Amino acid sequence: MVETADWMRPQTGVEPVDLRTDLPHSARMYDYWLGGRTNFAPDRALGEMFEKQIPGIRAMARENRRFLGRAVRHLAAEGGIRQFLDIGTGIPTEGNTHEVAQAVAPDSRVVYVDNDPIVLAHARALMTGGREGGTAYIHADLREPGRILADPALAGTLDLDRPVGLTLVAVLMLLEDAEDPWGLVRELMDALAPGSYVAVTHPGADFDPEAMAGVAAMAAQGGMTLVPRTRDEVARFLGDWEPVEPGVVPVMGWRPDGEPPADPAAAYYWAGVARKRG
């Protein structure tokens, strides 16, 4: 049975989109783990299979999301960043990038990019208009960095001659090695001005290799790519940019608010932030 909800009904000026609610989608599965309502039976079924393999997966998703908040706050407050490019935005939830950045500096501007039509449907409703700093949304694929960079909405919102905070939070694992995610990220980083930052999280292959291999296999059965990567493979995404302390570490250990966690490796994500020199 195909489910419907209020948020699925067309809004003025929004073309109909095919949400493919018959297949699991990463954005909706993640929403399910975060306790959101924008998910469907196939998303929940695969999400629960993952949870059997990794019982802490919901808490891990929350920790990943908390990192996004800490990283954006850090870049805005300590790095003076006023413009962000958030690729793999996800379904809007608590602590969206513009909310965090604009809480520090109301004139912050954010361009969101995602390739999932459900994120598009929500982004148009929730992230446009009326805010002092301004946001834009681009429906595009990380596999096409040139298209993202050339999109008029990007030039209309961000000044690429000035530093940008590029966030790639829990999205790179959705690309195969054969798609050269490192080259794609490099292309984006090369387009940014000195003083820019990149913030990355990525599910780690080296926390519980057997469990991660298990979820990767389940994802493949569900028609979804999920590639856990080692710390070294994740660190390679930061290239030769200067790592922000403490470097690439388990996500809970990256500049925690308050007391350091007893076991930072309890959430199986690597996290790191780096700054373009010059």
Binding site for ligand SAM (CB under 6 A): 26-27, 30, 64-65, 68, 87-90, 113-116, 119, 141-143, 169-171, 174
End-to-end CA distance of the chain: 55
Q: Which is nearer to ligand SAM, 71 or 244 (CB)?
A: 71
**Residue whose C-beta lies closest to ligand SAM:** 90
User: In whole angstroms, how close is the CB of 141 to ligand SAM at the nearest point?
Assistant: 4
Q: Which is nearer to ligand SAM, 168 or 274 (CB)?
A: 168
User: In whole angstroms, how close is the CB of 278 to ligand SAM at the nearest point?
Assistant: 27
Burial of 236 (0-12, 13-18, 19+ CB in 10 A): middle
Annotate 191-238 with three-state secondary structure. Answer: CCCCCCEEEEEEEECCCCHHHHHHHHHHHHHCCCCCCCECHHHHHHHH
Q: Which is nearer to ligand SAM, 67 or 241 (CB)?
A: 67
Residue listed under structure tokens 């520090």:
104
Q: Are 8 and 19 in contact (CB under 8 A)?
A: yes
3-state secondary structure at position 134 = coil
Q: Which is nearer to ligand SAM, 64 or 108 (CB)?
A: 64
Neighbours of 242 (CB within 10 A): 12
User: In whole angstroms, how close is the CB of 88 to ligand SAM at the nearest point?
Assistant: 3
User: In whole angstroms, how close is the CB of 195 to ligand SAM at the nearest point?
Assistant: 23
User: In whole angstroms, how close is the CB of 114 to ligand SAM at the nearest point?
Assistant: 4
Which residue from 67, 120, 59 is spatially nearest to 91, judged by alpha carbons?
120
